[in-house]
Structures are given as C-alpha cells and as structure tokens.
Amino acid sequence: MSTEQETAEAQVESEPVETVNNEEEQAHTELGEHEYTLDELKQELQEAKEKAQENWDKALRIHAEMENLKKRTQKDLEDAHKFALTSFAKELLPVMDSLVLGLQATAGDSAEVKKFREGSELTIKQFESAFAKFNIVALDPLGQPFNAEHHQAMVMQEIEGAEPNTVVNVFQKGYVLNGRLLRPAMVVVAKAHIDTQA
C-alpha cells in the first residue's frame, strides 16, 4: 500500500467524526444563543426572590418549633424531677394521718402511755423533716379564707363571730408537693349568718 492510499483512507475515516463534532457545537451554540429579555430576567429574579423568602420563612418556622420543643422538653424534664415522688408521697400521707390520730387518741398518764406519746411525736417529727426535705408542705388552713384549689369543704356552718367563707375547722390536713396539690385539706367553712328576726 502506498503512502497516498494510507493518507486518503485516514481522511475518509476522520470525516464523519468532524461532522459529529460540528453538530454538537451547533446544538451547544443554539442553546447558549437564547438571549433573555429584560422582562424575562426580571421575572426570573422575582421568582428566585419569592422562593428564597419562602425558604427563609420555612427555616424560621422550623427554628421556632425546635426552640419550643426544647423548652417543652426541658419543662417536662424539670416536672419529672420535681414530681417524681407524687405517688410515693400520696402513699405516705395516710401513714402520717394514722400516727397523728393515734397520738391524739392516747389518754392517761401511765409510763407506757408517755413513752408511746414520745415515740409517736418523734416519728411524726421525722416524717415532717422528710417531707420538708422533699418539698412536701402541709396545708393546715384553720382561720384562713376558703380556697377551692387547696381545700375541700365538707360542711358549711353558721358560726357566731366567724368571718363568712373562712375555715373554722380542719378534719384532715392537705399537702402540696413543690406547689402541686397532693391532697386537699378537708375543712368546715363558715357561712354568712342569716338573721331570722326581722
């Protein structure tokens, strides 16, 4: 084969490739040649601004929701710590009541009765100390105005000289744990004196 033939064959093989490259360049050029008008650019800019504002609003909402969730979780955690003893404390209240009633029921001056009283008083003081340590506070509202949130009225009575709507007797003390009611105080409330002589 002569050198001329090899050159001619090489030219024939390379021609279709050039044609393909020219077509790609033309397609590329046609896509890139679209010139935007000023109105089209303004429209695209406005759409981009609206989309950016929409995304910014979403981000702010998500951030606010996360902050609220964080605060709510923190409060729930604090409440769980503060009120973890609620069930246990409620179970101890009848024991305390029984001790107090037992102490009130003791009568007599014998040595055994005195020892029993002393032992009961010490046990009650230990209970009160433990309650104070865990922020369990007794409600003994004698002489105070009736508070429906912390007191349960068992009876309303007309009592001479008593201010209406005042607690005049406490059947059973109430208790709160860190400000939350464990048990309302059972009370007798004075009602207004009605003058029947007219």
What DSSP assignment string belongs to 141-197? -TTSBP-TTTEEEEEEEE-TTPPTTBEEEEEE-EEEETTEEEEPEEEEEEEPPP---
**120-143 per-position pLDDT tens digit:** 899 999 999 999 999 999 999 999
Average pLDDT over residues 142-153: 93
As a CATH number, domain 83-191 is 2.30.22.10
**How confident is residue 158, by pLDDT bands cut at 50, 70 and 90?**
confident
> Distance from CA of residue 165 to its chain's centroid?
35
SS (H, E, C) 115-137: HHHHHHHHHHHHHHHHHHHCCEE
Q: Which tokens is 143 given?
A: 């002489």
Q: What is the mean pLDDT of the chain?
A: 83
Q: Is the pLDDT at 189 greater than 90, yes or no?
A: yes
Report d(CA 154, CA 2) in Å as an integer: 126
For position 65, what pLDDT does the model report?
Answer: 94
Q: Which residues contact 173 (CB under 8 A, 6 or more apart)?
A: 97, 138, 139, 140, 185
Contact between 79 and 72 under an 8 Å Cβ cutoff? The reply is no
Q: Is the pLDDT at 104 greater than 60, yes or no?
A: yes
For position 114, what pLDDT does the model report?
Answer: 87
For position 137, what pLDDT does the model report?
Answer: 94
Average pLDDT over residues 66-78: 91
What does pTM read for this prediction? 0.59
Element at 139 (helix H, strand E): strand 136-139
Residue 188's φ and ψ, nearest 5 degrees, are: -105, 130
For position 9, what pLDDT does the model report?
Answer: 55
**3-37 per-position pLDDT tens digit:** 565 555 555 455 554 454 555 555 444 545 668 88
Report d(CA 145, CA 6) in Å as an integer: 118
> How many other C-beta atoms can be found within 10 angstroms of the C-beta atom of residue 22?
10
Residue 135's φ and ψ, nearest 5 degrees, are: 60, 35
> How many other C-beta atoms can be found within 10 angstroms of the C-beta atom of residue 120?
16
In this predicted structure, which of 27-41, 101-115, 157-171 has the lowest mean pLDDT?
27-41
